[in-house]
Amino acid sequence: AQAGTPVVIYTLEMKATELGERIALAQTDIDPARLRQGRLLPQEMETLTRCREKAAQMPLCIDDTPYLSIDHLCTLVKAQHAKGKCRMVIVDYLQLLATLAPGRTREQEVAECSRKLKALARSIDSPVIVASQLNRQAEEQNTVPDLRHLRESGAIEQDADLVMLIHRPERHHISVDPHTGCSTRNMGILSVAKHRNGATG
């Protein structure tokens, strides 16, 4: 969006105002906790206001419809794409999408959503980035998550061209990274678990 590419975000978990606040904060070094407590300095408020204004000028659309079916989402995206207002889609997150056919297991529903999102990406020839929950095993283990930790469906692994998993050692009480010897404070490790056209690692 900062580069001028029209981006549409479908956030089924957060409100658009909350996400907008995060987008503005991501461009500053302001502590979000101090913002929530109303303890910002005047110059920090000026910086945040400028960042909000800059974010408002970006070609970014946030849809925070709380209950959205996969078919409705695909229809909305295609309509936006036809108008030239969508060249990238972000969905947060997969397990919150609904399906219209009753009487199926949750795994079958997630598999349908995954397949339709893959078909959507191909039909509009644009990236579709989809967040997904991991299962409880990933939370309980100290190891880096892998493909088997994707929640509720193996179809996610099958359909995706690229699967990236985020691991934060600090959350598992690992204070020093064994590979680099560096502190893990605020460290996030991004692991490419699947790459249809490239390397993993």
In this predicted model, what pLDDT tens digit does every residue of 130-160 receive, in sequence order? Answer: 999 887 766 666 667 888 888 666 788 889 9
Residue 170: name the closest of 183, 153, 152, 157 by CA: 183
List residues with catalytic annotation.
13
Interatomic CA distance for residues 22 and 125, integer angstroms: 28
In three-state secondary structure terms, 93 is coil
Interatomic CA distance for residues 192 and 201, integer angstroms: 5
Strands 162-167 and 128-130: unpaired
pLDDT digits over 182-193, tens only?
Answer: 898 888 889 999
Cβ neighbours of residue 116 under 8 Å, at least 6 residues apart? 70, 71, 74
pLDDT digits over 4-63, tens only?
Answer: 999 999 999 899 989 988 888 888 888 888 888 888 889 989 998 888 888 889 999 999
Cβ neighbours of residue 2 under 8 Å, at least 6 residues apart? 58
**pTM score, whole prediction:** 0.85
pLDDT at 177 over 90: no
